[in-house]
Structures are given as C-alpha cells and as structure tokens.
Amino acid sequence: MSLRIAQAKSPDFVGKEVKIRGWVYRLRKQKENAFVLVRDDRGGVIQCIFPATSVAGLTIESSIEVTGVISQDARAPEGGYELKGREVRTYNIAGADYPIGEYQSDELLLDKRHLSLRTRRMVAIAKIRASVLDLGRRWFVDNGWMEVTAPIIVKGAVEGGSTLFKLKYFDQEAYLSQSAQLYLEAMIFSLGPVWSITPSFRAEKSRTVRHLAEFSHLEAEAPWVTLEDILGVQEKLVSHVIQNTIKQNAEELAYLKRDVTDLKKIEPPFERLSYNKAIEILKSKGFTVTEQDGSKREIRVGDDLNIDSERELTKDAGKPIFVIGYPIAVKPFYVKEDPEHKGTGLAADLLAPKGFGEITSGGMREDDIVSITERIKKEGLDPAAYDWYLDLRKYGSVPHGGFGLGIERLMRWITNVDDIKDTVLFPRTMSRVAP
Ligand code: 4AD
Ligand code: MG
C-alpha cells in the first residue's frame, strides 16, 4: 500500500520501508547520488535519494512509485524527512520539454493552466478555495438555510442587458444566467430561506483584475426579512469563512506570503456607511469622476461608486464596510425603493478593506407589482420575459431580500493574489476560454 507523502513524513515511519506515489518535481544528479523531489497529488513533497544510475532517464513530471526507507535529517529540505530509495517504478516518462519551470511569465502559466495547476502556488490556492466553499456551505446549512439549484439557461437579464451572453436555445434566444436571484425569489415562498452556489456569467468587456466572465456566485434569499437582517447574515458568513480559512489553511496562506494579521480582525459588526455620507467623504477628498467625453468633474449624489472610489473609501479601513442606500437609478430594477426616502434603494454593497472592493451586493426586493413593472420597462427590458417573476408580486408577495457574494472576489481578498484569474482553476475572461 502506498502512503501519502504527508503521512510518510512522521516519526512513526522513521527507519521503516514505505511506498509513495507521485511525480518528479525537481531533479538534481550528482556523480553518485540523485536527489529527486517527489510531489504527490495533495501537495506533499519529499526528497528521495537514489544511486544516480537507478534514475537515469527520469525527467521532470515523470510519474513514479518509490519504495524506500524514511529517515529523519534536520538538513533535509521539506521538513526534515527524506526517503532513501531502494526501488523506483516508472509509470510514465514525461516529455523532456515540460513547459513549466521555476520562472515563467503569467501569460504562459495561464496558457498552460492544465499543467501549472501542478505548481505549489496553485495547489495552495485550490486548497484555500475548497475551504472557502466548504465553510460557506456549512454556515448556511448550520443556520437552517436550504440549498437549492437554479437554472443556468434563462430568458431574462438580472444585472443589465450589456453583459449578457446570448445563446441559441433550439429555435429561441436564451442567455447564460448572471445571477440566480430571480429564481431564489420564486423559491422562498415555499422553501423559506434558501441559498445556492452556481456559476454566473458576465460578458465583461473590460480587462480588470477583479472581473471574470464566469464566476462562482454564492447567493441567498429569504422571506420576512429586513435590510438589517440581510446585512447581519453577510457579516456573520464572511467572518466565519475568514476566521476558519486562516486556521485551516495557515500553511497555504504562509506559502502565498499572505500576512493574515488584518484578517484575524474580521468579526461582526461591519461599519454601515450611508451612500450619501460616502459621497460626502469622497467630495471632501476632492474625488472626481470622468464623464463620457473624457472631462472631469467633482463626484456628486447620483453617481455610482467605482473601483477607485471604493478604494478611497476603504483604504484605511480594518474591516469591510457596508455602503447602504444607493440611488435606485444606479441599481437594477429589482431593488426596493425606500418608502421613506424616495429615489433611494434599500440596497447595500459590502466593500472589502484596503481597496479590494465590492464582494457582495444585496438588499430588499421591490415587492410592488406596479413599481417593479415600471422599473423593468425603464431599464429597457421586456416585461414579457419576466411574466413569471411578476407573478411572485401578484400572488402573496411578502417583504424579502437577499444578496450575492462573488467567491473569487472573496478569495482575492483572502489570498491577496494580484489577479482574480488566479483564484479560479480555469479562468474565463474576454480573451481566454481555454484551457
Ligand atoms: O453585484 P452583483 O452583480 O449582484 C447580483 O448579481 C445580485 N443579483 C446578487 C443577489 O442579490 N442575489 O454580483 C454579486 C457579486 C458582486 O458583489 C461580486 O462579488 C461578484 O458577484 N461579481 C463578480 N465576480 C467576478 N467577476 C465578475 N464579473 C463579477 N460580477 C459580479
Ligand atoms: Mg454589485
């Protein structure tokens, strides 16, 4: 039976013969001995020492099974254990032109992502990602929310028409879903608080370090809630995921050189900042916005926040900030208008500190059939595509709300990797659909 490398690196096996399986990660041949770093398929790495002759012909990424005796030596790389190889069985001798070496351009690593997934950096990121997803799921299950699955092929826009991916669906036109929200809204009337993680698609035409064309969307929706309830769920969820990820993945975060001192402080409550106050702050700092014709003017009430204004608002913050009460004009048709402040939406975005920017959007949903029909038309959308959605306002409407969290946005903050493309194993962007 073969052991995982992490298991074999234990005092229990010192002096004993073990078998490990893996791939040649680094290879250094000297006159008498060859030093082979072997990695396995869960990130384990150990140095194996062989007589040089017994590994002639071995190449980087060849798949092998090694039988040998574990010894402990403080000087050994990878944590003080090594394996004195007695026998090596080769499964596949890798081509000598393996394209991933120690120093590689980001572009090449992306072009060869099917192979660069084998680097320790990507393994660390994948492990953190698995924790983030698992912890998010667990939080909902433990708090009585029900998991559901919404369709990916849909007839209606949720987040505006300009980022829709069109699809020929038999003899009709359909789209790839931008958000499960409208379907989750349909579910809450019989299922109560629900959540899902589904891929969402956005034909984002800008190249940025925080936009993907396909991302993992964690969404939640519940009946009989207030905006404050929805914010409470988000701050608890985000804090839970972060606190446990930094515990479970301390090793991986250290490998990525992520100093987690700031993440340790992420606990509820998060600051609530009104949109109007946010604009005031930005104004007082002389913040400007660029008009379509390229001219600049002072930011004012009515403007949406962008990555630059979000960075300005959060650059000194230790914790995420909820910005609350955006003008309904800058938010989608479904955002509920505050009955006490006309023109203002009962909606909030959660901005991660230090300029990481928006990680969630959510709030209360417009539950009045007349207002929402008008808003759909105003957005230039066809109410016919929303007939079923409008039924939800016709038959037993209740106050309800929810939010959507971008897993990769959260990952980027937790890992502090430069580009969102590195938070997902096979990124999709405007210029990349392969591998
Ligand atoms: O802000 P968004 O567009 O809101 C919605 O889709 C709502 N319908 C969600 C809901 O209330 N159920 O998207 C939600 C989050 C954003 O805050 C961001 O974290 C992420 O999804 N996101 C993206 N992540 C990566 N690449 C993109 N192109 C993203 N667009 C949105
Ligand atoms: Mg948003």
The tens digit of pLDDT for each residue in 168-205 reads: 999 999 999 999 999 999 999 999 999 999 999 999 98
Residue nearest to atom 17 of ligand 1 (CA): 360
Pocket-testing residue among 178, 206, 217, 364, ligand 1, by greatest number of atoms within 8 A of Cβ: 217
3-state DSSP percent of the chain in helix, strand and coil, to 5: 35, 30, 40
Residues 325-346, mean pLDDT to the nearest whole number: 96
Ligand nearest to the CA of 217: 1
**Nearest protein Cα to ligand 1, atom 30:** 211
C-alpha radius of gyration, the chain, whole number:
26
Got the DSSP string for 119-184?
SHHHHHHHHHHHHHHHHHHHHHHHTTPEE----SEESS-SS-GGGPPEEEETTEEEEE-S-SHHHH
Average the pLDDT over 129-151 and give the result: 98
Tell whether the model's pLDDT for residue 250 goes beyond 90: yes
- What gap in Å lies between CA 40 and CA 418, rounded to an integer? 27
Specify the ligand 1 atom closest to the Cα of 362: 11
Alpha carbons 227 and 230: distance in angstroms, whole number: 5
pTM over 0.75: yes
- Range 247-252 average pLDDT: 98
Phi, psi of 351 (to 5 degrees): -105, 125
Return the pLDDT at 202.
97
Instruction: Using CB atoms within 10 Å of the CB of residue 222, give its burial: 0 to 12 exposed, 13 to 18 middle, 19+ buried.
Output: buried
Query: How distant, in Å, are the alpha carbons of 47, 101, 416 from that of 256?
Result: 22, 18, 8
**How confident is the model over 379-397, as a mean pLDDT?**
94
Task: Please report which helix (H) or strand (E) contains residue 403, including its range.
Answer: strand 400-406
List CB-based neighbours of ion ligand 2 within 5 Å: 361
d(CA 98, CA 329): 53
pLDDT of 241 above 90: yes
Helix (H, G, I), strand (E, B) or coil at 398: coil
Least distant ligand from the CA of 357 = 1
Q: Whose CA is nearest to atom 20 of ligand 1?
A: 406
Q: Which of 194, 221, 409 to mutate to test the pocket of ligand 1 (most atoms within 8 A of CB)?
A: 409
Task: Name the closest-CA residue to atom 2, ligand 1.
Answer: 361
The predicted structure's pLDDT at residue 102: 81
Ligand 1 atom with the shortest distance to the CA of 159: 3
Residue 55: what pLDDT?
87
Q: How far is the CA of 275 from the centre of ligand 2 (A)?
A: 14
Task: Map out the domains of the chain with their CATH numbers.
Answer: 5-92 (2.40.50.140), 113-423 (3.30.930.10)
Q: For residue 331, report the distance from its CA to the centre of ligand 2, in Å.
A: 8
Query: What integer pLDDT is reported at residue 8 of this predicted model?
Result: 96
Which residues, 6 or more positions from 102, have their beta carbon under 8 angstroms from its beta carbon? Answer: none
- Residue 394 is predicted with a pLDDT of 96
Across the range 237-264, mean pLDDT stands at 98
Of the candidates 381, 435, 412, 399, the one whose C-alpha atom is nearest the C-alpha of residue 178 is 381
pLDDT, mean of residues 399-423: 98
Q: Where are the beta strands (DSSP E) in 146-290?
A: 146-147, 153-154, 166-169, 172-176, 194-201, 214-223, 271-274, 288-290
pLDDT greater than 90 at residue 208:
no
Predicted confidence band at 1 (pLDDT cuts at 50, 70, 90)?
Answer: confident
Q: What is the mean pLDDT of residues 61-86?
A: 95
Q: Tell me: the pLDDT tens digits for 107-139?
A: 999 999 999 999 999 999 999 999 999 999 999
Q: At residue 52, what is the residue type?
A: A
Examine the pLDDT at 81 and tell me if it is beyond 90: yes
Q: How far is the CA of 301 from the centre of ligand 1 (A)?
A: 23
Q: What is the pLDDT of residue 101?
A: 87
In angstroms, what is the span from residue 358 Cα to ligand 2's centroid? 7
Ligand 1 pocket, CB under 6 A: 158-159, 179, 181, 202, 204, 211-212, 215, 217, 219, 358-362, 402-406, 408-409
